[in-house]
Chain A
């Protein structure tokens, strides 16, 4: 099939960006969306133009590197990562707009590449269990009820792609932070630092310029890993409780 893609081109953080239109021929329905961009880039290089910069790595939907807004929807029309979206989701002759994640917390670096290091700084603020190497008890010394382990896992599947932030009208990182907090607060290992963790992570989230959460739910609709909406309620509960008791 033949498509017209209109791609956000921006040379650097300080320069202005704009949508540029390119025809792409010979698109196979079995191609991933990123493979379609590869094909376009080969064309651009052949014509002496600069290829489109975009982030990607594993192309298996697990590393969380890729992420673009396609026709106004993060990761495109299906609930998956951009690398696992296939061109069979589009029709011959379609015009497809491709833009970077847009959020105050994610400055554009070039074209479709944005800086998501703020998410790392939220984790650095407390998204861990302090368990220095070599100090661990036998794994079976701490049984975890299966329902807790499963729910912790559901939250731990977050790939940190930032789709939740890009989908949120407020540019909030609440779903990301909620997934981290919920994963660790459900497990016995995560208890001692529970209060400090949520307070520090939420403080950092605000300081990084992410917006507040108004329970719009766009994040959950866009999340390729299905992080539950209930995790936000769980974050709020953890936060309120910790606010009363202090950092512990």
Chain B
């Protein structure tokens, strides 16, 4: 019995059929405009205030639209983009090292293991340079050289220095730039902000997205907000794994409920495992903390050559160390892309060579760099990361190597969107990590910030005009049957959750789900393991709805209820994720199927059968719609970093 049905193929019809480098200009020119005087008559809902949502809200408001913006945090400045450390890519070629829009495009398509759309990636590379200009104009304090010009560094998977950064807090600084632009529009009355409010469902009227149903997290009130278009900028769903580098509140509810209302979900099994995370310290662990990938610029990764070598690292002589990345991938060395570095770490740990508690760790060693450049230089570059590491582990990384291990970090999958960033529900746009576009099966470092801001500042504001300018939208009254129906469903679901009154906490379910996913759908996956997890999840879901215990009431601040709502969705999404992983009979990017590997253990892609985006339609059984990927410019080859 198959787990899914196959439906008609799907295609992106919005990218114009002209030369790659002209597509975005052509699309912008062909897009319908909305007369400035008419813009204020349009209400646009933006859910999420991270890099994508914050920049979109600010820009749409500048254009004259009336923006209604939501975030579940107490302030828009706290969206999880704030935690991104390393940097943001841009094809500025300020270093004169041979960078170009085409090279950034090329690196990104290749880095994504040929599972992204050429049109989208090219546009991303084009817009990248403008993002830096915009951020600098807002006063984002990027790192600078003594001459007053911007400094750059390099990141995994590339051989040029195109990454702009602000110490180890690049995400924070870019987010604050967008937040300040948004704040300006709030003050001007163009943005109506609803903090501590969570979207719980999507209102679709006559086939178009026309609003959301949300819960005020302080009072518990269920409210409907209507608009002419809805933009989801709600981030990724990595917390389905429980332990991840995502903020605790990051969840899939907005995109999952939109999926259940008709938006296709693309490539859910493409999750990125980040190689440089601080290993977990015990059962109590609530989340994982990342160390920026930029550390691999100067840190060298190694393990002891001998199994069970428990000597302190300093006592292990040079010739008894295995600098395995430098050995296996001499031309990229420690700077190989994330999927390659993560899998290599797993392989050495699986072989019994791992270090630290449980053998789940490898060394990231700065001894050479400190000797070469001196401690002050390292402090200037990575000081705050070293402090953070020391605080968490109580070990001094200036004296002893850091221990790192891979962890769930980013989800390349998300709601399917066309070139206009519109989902399969007209009027529902999805931007940033919440959509599936641009990164393919693996995301290169410093490209998440780039995509979030490209979508929010530049792409969406152009394509949304086209939708609003070209669509006749009748007013939807708050008493419309469909509005009442969705509201009632939301209320019923909350009452149902609260009425279970069982014995197990929400967290206990979430932990069990996460462990199951990590064991069977983490860094490597097999048919057998995926099948095992698929058998267990429906049972776990049934148990959840039979036995979950949620104290408190609906009409108050109730954090257990918030979590339960989200975990209920993770329990559904997890199943689709597993089905997608099972259906993709190849290894590519962050997706490593044990059945499909080269003789030397590298990922074995199957372009003939799997060069497509898997877009899933919600149903009794999920329906798979394939979008074929064509490569006219970057021809798929075995990715080699040797």
Contacts and interface: CB of A to CB of B under 8 A. Distances in A.
B89 to A, nearest CB: 14
B438 to A, nearest CB: 19
A142 B136 contact: yes
A184 B167 CA distance: 18
Nearest to B147: A143
Given A59-B247, A124-B184, A146 B391 contact: no
Contacts of B169: 62, 157
B234 interface: no
A53 B559 contact: yes
A223 interface: no
B30 to A, nearest CB: 19
A127 B77 contact: no
Contacts of B281: 28, 30
A46 B508 CA distance: 11
A116 B559 contact: no
A173 to B, nearest CB: 14
A39 interface: yes
Contact of B149 (A46, A61, A80, A143): A143
B78 interface: yes
A77 to B, nearest CB: 13
Contacts of B55: 133
A182 to B, nearest CB: 11
B186 A42 contact: no
A242 interface: no
A51 B80 contact: no
A133 B286 CA distance: 38
B183 A120 contact: yes
Given A38-B507, A42-B507, A133 B457 contact: yes
A58 B391 contact: no
A48 B247 contact: no
A207 B183 CA distance: 18
Nearest to A145: B148
B27 interface: no
Contacts, number: 210
A128 B557 contact: no
A57 B75 contact: no
Interface centre among A45, A119, A142, A183, by most B CB within 10 Å? A45
B505 A129 contact: no
Contacts of A125: 187
A58 B82 contact: yes
Interface in B50-76: 55, 58-59, 62, 73-76
Nearest to B245: A60
B76 A120 contact: yes
Interface stretch (A92-100, A148-156, A214-222, A232-240): A148-156
Interface string B22-58: 0000000000000000000000000000000001001
Contacts of B77: 64, 120, 160
A1 to B, nearest CB: 13
A230 interface: no
Contact of A131 (B82, B134, B549): B134
B169 to A, nearest CB: 6
A139 B141 CA distance: 12
B560 A51 contact: yes
Interface stretch (B172-180, B347-355, B397-405, B615-623): B172-180
A169 interface: no
Nearest to A158: B176
Given A86-B394, A124-B184, A138 B141 contact: no
A38 B83 contact: no
A35 B286 contact: yes
Contact of B137 (A60, A62, A113, A129): A129
Interface string B120-136: 00000000001011111
A124 B185 CA distance: 8
Interface in B272-316: 281-282, 284-287, 289-290
A177 B557 CA distance: 29
A123 B176 CA distance: 11
Interface in A147-184: 149-150, 152-153, 156-157, 159-160, 183-184
Interface in A194-225: none
Interface in A51-95: 51, 53, 55-65, 80, 84, 86, 88
A16 interface: no
B375 to A, nearest CB: 18
A124 to B, nearest CB: 4
A219 B92 CA distance: 41
Contacts of A157: 169, 172
Contact of A49 (B82, B145, B184, B551): B551
Given A57-B247, A63-B247, A146-B148, A46 B505 contact: yes
B137 A135 contact: yes
A124 B186 contact: yes
Nearest to A48: B551
Interface string B452-476: 0000011001000000000000000
B137 to A, nearest CB: 4
Which of B133, B141, B248 gathers the greatest number of chain A CB atoms within 10 Å?
B141
A31 interface: yes
B181 A86 contact: no
Given A53-B559, A57-B249, A146-B144, A62 B82 contact: yes
Contacts of A156: 141, 166, 173, 176
A25 interface: no
A3 interface: no
Contacts of A35: 284-286
A86 B94 contact: no
A189 B286 CA distance: 41
Given A140-B149, A153-B167, A128 B134 contact: no
A132 interface: yes
B392 interface: yes
B341 to A, nearest CB: 21
A18 to B, nearest CB: 18
A64 B186 CA distance: 21
A91 to B, nearest CB: 15
Nearest to A12: B556
Contacts of A152: 139, 141
B74 to A, nearest CB: 6
A19 interface: no
A234 B165 CA distance: 26
Nearest to B180: A128
Contact of A113 (B58, B76, B181, B557): B557
B262 interface: no
A236 B496 CA distance: 56
Given A35-B286, A59-B289, A140-B94, 16 more contacts: A11-B556, A30-B394, A57-B78, A58-B80, A58-B82, A59-B287, A64-B77, A116-B75, A123-B179, A128-B184, A129-B137, A134-B458, A139-B136, A153-B167, A156-B141, A189-B136
Interface of A: 11-12, 28, 30-32, 34-35, 38-39, 42, 44-46, 48-51, 53, 55-65, 80, 84, 86, 88, 109-110, 113, 115-117, 119-120, 123-140, 142-146, 149-150, 152-153, 156-157, 159-160, 183-184, 187, 189-190
Sort A-B residue pairs by CB-CB distance and give the 9 closest, nearest first. A143-B148, A128-B180, A136-B137, A131-B137, A136-B133, A30-B281, A153-B141, A139-B136, A124-B187
17 contacts: A12-B556, A31-B284, A57-B78, A57-B249, A58-B78, A61-B391, A62-B83, A62-B172, A63-B73, A117-B75, A117-B195, A128-B138, A134-B457, A136-B130, A138-B133, A140-B94, A156-B141
